[in-house]
Amino acid sequence: MLNPSRSKSLQIYNTALGADWDVIYASMRGQAMRTMLASTLVARGVPKGTAPRASRRRFASLLLGAERRHPSHGSSGSNSSKLTDSSNAESGGVAGASPAGMPAPWWHQKGQLRQLTTVTVTNHEAPAKRSSSSSSSSSSDSTACASRATPTAAVDLRSDTMTKPCKRLRAAMAGAEVGDDVFGEDPTVARLEDCVAYLLGKEKGLLVPSGTMGNLIAVGAHCRRGDELILGDKSHIFQYEGAGASALMGVSYHTVRNAEDGGLEVADIETAVRGDDPHYPRSSLLCLENTQNLCGARAIAPARMAEMCAAGRHAGLKVHVDGARLWNAAVSLEVRPSELVSDADSVSVCLSKGLGAPVGSVLVGSEQFIYEARRLRKSLGGGMRQSGVIAAAGLEAVVNNYVRLSEDHDNAAALANGLGALRGISAERSPADTNAVYFQVTGMDAQAFVDALERDHGVLMGSGYFGGSTIRAMTHLDVNREGVERAIEASRAVLADATAS
């Protein structure tokens, strides 16, 4: 049976993503879709020609991934080119269930969605542990990247950008079907873009090399030179993206105070909007962030997001969401990702943080917005050729590693509790926090504490936040509970040494 943590992850995943498993269908078209599905089923032991009714429970388990055996779900490669049976790919139309022109999965037609999302999944095969010289990792099931922990590996808590692609993602990259994406001919990129756009409830998606580029493109697509955007004073776009909006797009920043929950107060948004006067820049864009990193990686609830979006729209602003860790917010709040951004005009989400892909973000919005975004991507040098090798890892990560993000949140809570219990450390954590722990040390310099952790114990954390007094530790795919315990004990030892000296 799955361990309790894994079962909880599946429960949260079913709640958060629910019917969106039909993205496996929606992200492919026609015969390619049927081929992929048939190869997936056959590769996992469902006989060709099996009636959907006879294999529904098995099929649900396969889609949830707990019995996954192979590194690729068959969207490309030799299996998909040889297997064409479509008996398990019946589809039916349910309004709003799939993007226009894409078939809905058979369970919508058969009314089986509720049954599928509450099915009990059993894994009778324990995943093999793999080793790496660079990380302590945490996956309890074969759907997510397998464990790469070793007893002497460093515990790297500096950022969730430290995740490294596992063998399954590397295999997906090696077997990816590719084309020239600048010409719009890479099928794997197209599947990823359709997949993410659908999950976020938008018309189109665009793969970009980084979240910073995604946010910059959004600013350029929504604003004219000389315009002004409104955003939080702790936002990543303002703090950590090289002033790209002003330097490259000619758009100035108007910051307002981030509230404790990570959002912006409606009154502050309204006050920040410029009047119609030629002396002022035009207020054109409101930028929000979810999760809000510098406010403790807070997950902002759908109602709060809707409130802020409504304030922006009422003032005539477009709304962009920096959703670098939107996946974490959705899992933490147990909602679908689309519920957090339903009122936004554009969203940028990252593939290379908690999801564990090696590189890339996806920018989504309306068809017209993505048309403009594609032109800007080219101008900024972000058009990539056979980028299906990147997209394949992103697609695998979205489908399979999303389910385990709650493990990172649980590990962060355990880390915060353990650190908070140590004399000399102040670590506070809100229920709305996700995978980051911010804390302060007393009795020694924060940088000296971080240096001692790395030098003497092989534990890495980030320092220099909020004037240098605050330390950040961020849990992710490559840090398991043993790594968390090592970090706590290492912190205890460093504090003890400082006291003794």
- Share of residues in the chain with pLDDT > 70 (%): 70
- Share of residues in the chain with pLDDT > 90 (%): 65
Angle between helices 30-43 and 52-64 (to 10 degrees): 80
Question: Parallel, antiparallel, or unpaired for β 459-460 and 436-441?
Answer: unpaired
Query: Distance (Å, rounded) from C-alpha 135 to C-alpha 130?
Result: 11
Neighbours of 188 (CB within 10 A): 29
- 32 against 153, higher pLDDT: 153
**DSSP H or E segment with residue 34:** helix 30-43
Judged against a pLDDT cut of 90, whether residue 169 lies above it is answered with yes
Task: State the average pLDDT over residues 349-371.
Answer: 97
pLDDT at 10 (0 to 100): 45
- In 3-state terms the chain splits into helix, strand, coil percentages (rounded to 5) of 45, 15, 40
> Quick check: 381 and 217 in contact, CB under 8 A?
no
Kindly report the CATH class assigned to 171-400.
alpha beta
Which residues are bridge partners to 350 per DSSP?
361
Which long-range contacts link 252-260 to residues 24+ away (Cβ below 8 Å)? 252/227, 252/228, 252/281, 253/228, 253/229, 254/228, 254/229, 254/230, 254/283, 255/230, 255/231, 256/230, 256/231, 256/232, 257/232, 257/233, 258/232, 258/233, 258/234, 258/292, 258/294, 258/295, 259/295, 260/295
Beta-sheet strands, E only, within 97-174: 155-156
Task: State the average pLDDT over residues 463-483.
Answer: 90
The pair of structure tokens assigned to 278 is: 């030629």
CA–CA–CA angle 382, 387, 390 (5° rounding): 105
- In Å, how far from its chain's centre is CA 169? 15
Where residue 143 falls among pLDDT bands split at 50, 70, 90?
Answer: low
Mean pLDDT score across all residues of the chain: 78
Query: Distance (Å, rounded) from C-alpha 175 to C-alpha 22?
Result: 23
The full set of domain ranges for the chain reads 4-126, 171-400, 405-500
Where residue 152 falls among pLDDT bands split at 50, 70, 90?
Answer: low
pLDDT tens profile 209-256: 999 999 999 999 999 999 999 999 999 999 999 999 999 999 999 999
Which residues are bridge partners to 433 per DSSP?
298
Taking the CA atoms of the chain, what radius of gyration do you get in angstroms?
23
CA–CA–CA angle 305, 311, 316 (5° rounding): 125
List, as one string, the DSSP characters of 63-76: HHTTT--SS--SSS
pLDDT tens profile 408-460: 999 999 999 999 999 999 988 887 889 999 999 998 999 999 999 999 999 99
Which long-range contacts link 29-36 to residues 24+ away (Cβ below 8 Å)? 29/101, 29/102, 31/84, 32/75, 32/80, 32/187, 33/89, 33/103, 34/84, 34/85, 34/86, 34/89, 35/74, 35/80, 35/81, 35/83, 35/84, 35/86, 36/73, 36/74, 36/75, 36/80
3-state DSSP assignment of residue 208: strand
Query: Distance (Å, rounded) from C-alpha 288 to C-alpha 264?
Result: 8
pLDDT at 188 (0 to 100): 96
The pair of structure tokens assigned to 338 is: 């689309």
Amino acid at 326: L
b/e per residue 369-392 (b: at least 16 CB within 10 A): bbebbbebbeebebbbebbbbbbb
Highest mean predicted confidence (pLDDT) among 22-36, 365-379, 424-438: 365-379
Judged against a pLDDT cut of 50, whether residue 44 lies above it is answered with no
Which residues are bridge partners to 441 per DSSP?
425
pLDDT at 57 (0 to 100): 38
Among 279-293, 314-328, 390-404, which is the least confidently predicted range? 390-404
How far from 365 is each of 100, 325, 477, CA to CA, in Å? 15, 17, 28
Query: Distance (Å, rounded) from C-alpha 362 to C-alpha 213?
Result: 10
Query: Distance (Å, rounded) from C-alpha 157 to C-alpha 454?
Result: 11
> CB-based contacts of 455: which residues, under 8 Å, 6+ apart?
none
Residues in the chain: 501
- In Å, how far from its chain's centre is CA 358? 12
Judged against a pLDDT cut of 70, whether residue 205 lies above it is answered with yes
Which residues are bridge partners to 321 per DSSP?
288, 347
> Token pair 């912190």 is at which residue?
491
Query: Distance (Å, rounded) from C-alpha 169 to C-alpha 176?
Result: 10
> Quick check: 150 and 133 in contact, CB under 8 A?
yes
Query: Distance (Å, rounded) from C-alpha 130 to C-alpha 133?
Result: 10
pLDDT at 29 (0 to 100): 40
The pair of structure tokens assigned to 181 is: 């994406």
The CATH homologous superfamily of the domain defined by 405-500: Aspartate Aminotransferase, domain 1 (3.90.1150.10)
pLDDT at 393 (0 to 100): 96
pLDDT at 230 (0 to 100): 99
